[in-house]
Amino acid sequence: MKIIVDTCIWSIALRREIHNENIIISELTELIKEVRVQCIGAIRQEILSGIKSKKQFHLVNSHLSAFSDLKLCEPDYQLAAEYFNFLRSKGIQGSNTDFLICAASTNYNMPIFTLDKDFDLFKKHIPIQLHQIRSSIN
C-alpha cells in the first residue's frame, strides 16, 4: 500500500543536520526501498517553497524528482472542500493543503505519514488513516 508522505517528514529527511539513526529517517528510507512513497503536488510545492538559494532548491528538487505526484482530480478537490467546511463547523481549523492530503488519503485509500498533530484531530471526524512508524525495521 502506498503512503502519502507529508511535508514535515520530507523536511526532516532533507535537512543536513539530522543523523542517520533518526527513526523518522529510517522509516522513510524503508518506505522508499519498499516503493511505497507517494507525493502530491501540493506537498511538493510546500517542500520547495521558501528555499532561499537556487542551489539548495535544485538539490531538493532533484531528490524529489524520484517521486511522481499522484494525479488529483475534481472529486479530490471537492472532498477537500467538504472536509474543510465540515471540520470548520466543528471548530477545527486546517489548511487547504492539509484537507487536500486528507481527501487524497480517503479517495485513494492511502495512509498519511506525518508528525502534524492536526491530523490526529482530523482523524476523529473524517475517515483518514495515519501511518504508524514500525517499531522495528529490518
The pLDDT assigned to 21 comes to 57
CATH of 3-123, one of 3.40.50.300, 1.25.40.10, 3.40.50.1010, 3.20.20.140: 3.40.50.1010
- Give the domain ranges of the chain: 3-123
47-105 residue pLDDT tens: 999 899 999 999 999 999 999 999 999 999 999 999 999 999 999 999 999 999 999 99
For residue 116, list its beta bridge partners.
none
Q: What is the mean pLDDT of the chain?
A: 93
> How far apart are alpha carbons 117 and 19 in whole angstroms?
23
CB neighbours of 102 closer than 8 A, spacing ≥ 6?
79, 80, 83, 112, 119, 122, 126, 128
Kindly report the number of other CB atoms within 10 A of residue 66's CB atom: 9
Averaged pLDDT for residues 123-130: 98
Give 136 or 120, the one with higher predicted confidence.
120
